[in-house]
Structure 1
């Protein structure tokens, strides 16, 4: 169990990268912007890729009635997500140490992974709901009101994953460094469970 415990510790520790690197990125490309506008989404807030990107995105959105990019204090997620990630990293590291000394079964590693997957799915669901609200809850007093063929307000929701045309912009939405560190950490946890399971089975 020493090898599997060590792998579990390393995998769980990778989650701490989310405190330093962005989880997701949304970038807007348009002919009038030679340099694309982008925002990096962290677990504790949103920052522009460049110094004035957030202000420029808010300025463009103002004309069609979209809300401003939320500040950390305006979304409960930015207060809760750091606690959840920190707790899961700490729990995983603890389980890794316990596994290293043979105090617990490797199935605890799988339990941690399943819980992490559930939390990840809930997080993506919440993120998609935010994007939907962000792109559809428009100010009726907006300077520019655009509608579809049936007269309904257009949907400006950025894609959850991938690229999509929105008016004269092309929106790109993809994971960033923090997300990749999390995915690698979860994969290492799977390896830790498998290695521990093989070790326990061999001893029997």
Structure 2
């Protein structure tokens, strides 16, 4: 399964892009901000798209009682995520090498994909829970206290995916380069599974 093994290795190594490129991007646009404010979310922490974006977002959040954007040391995820990605890359490369030398079944490629999918779903769930807490757990002493029509406190949770209007801000939340690299890498491991299956069946027939 030489071809399948090589594809598996390439797919796994694409995840290393997460150590350089952002996983997610959130942009906030409003009439008073001709150049939208933005956050790039990496597996190691959160950075502003422009130099003073985080500072400006924190200033706006102060008025409505939202907490400041957390630093890397404030969230355990930014310690765990790089470790998880590193382990999955190493595991994928090892499986690919073993497949290249015919030491493991092509089914291991699919197993890696399933495991990575589960971890990805867990990561997205955790990210959404953070957004909920960040947008709803407000300081009761905030300067501005806005309510919904039913009298309940207004939530400022950014969308997990897509567009949302929040007061006079247009908020967009979309995958960034790192997320697309994960997607391509994972799809390559699926390709490796089918190529490995084809190579396995071809060898099996030739031995009959």
Offset of residue 143 of structure 1 = 0.3
Partner of 2:193: 193
Q: What is the aligned residue count?
A: 204
Partner of 1:47: 47
Query: 1 CA distance for matches of 2:89 and 2:28?
Result: 33
Partner of 1:9: 9
Matched, 1:111 2:116: no
Deviation per CA, 1:40-69: give whole Å up to 9, x if none: 000010000000000000000100000110
Partner of 1:30: 30
In the TM superposition, structure 1's runs of 4+ consecutive aligned residues that sit over 2 Å from their partners are none
Superposed, 1:1-204 pairs within 5 Å as 1-204=1-204
Query: 2 CA distance for matches of 1:170 and 1:157?
Result: 13
Offset of residue 151 of structure 1 = 1.3
Query: 2 CA distance for matches of 1:150 and 1:14?
Result: 48
Query: 2 CA distance for matches of 1:198 and 1:3?
Result: 10
With the length of structure 1 as denominator, give the TM-score of the two structures: 0.99
Deviation per CA, 1:113-159: give whole Å up to 9, x if none: 00000000000000000000010000000000000112111011000
Query: 1 CA distance for matches of 2:98 and 2:29?
Result: 49
Query: 2 CA distance for matches of 1:196 and 1:133?
Result: 44
Query: 2 CA distance for matches of 1:201 and 1:159?
Result: 46
Query: 2 CA distance for matches of 1:170 and 1:132?
Result: 18
Query: 2 CA distance for matches of 1:36 and 1:144?
Result: 22
With the length of structure 2 as denominator, give the TM-score of the two structures: 0.97
Alignment partner of 2:88: what SS? helix
Alignment partner of 1:155: what SS? coil
Offset of residue 103 of structure 1 = 0.6
Query: 1 CA distance for matches of 2:52 and 2:92?
Result: 38
Query: 1 CA distance for matches of 2:108 and 2:203?
Result: 18
Please list every run of 5 or more consecutive structure 1 residues that lacks an aligned counterpart in the other structure: none
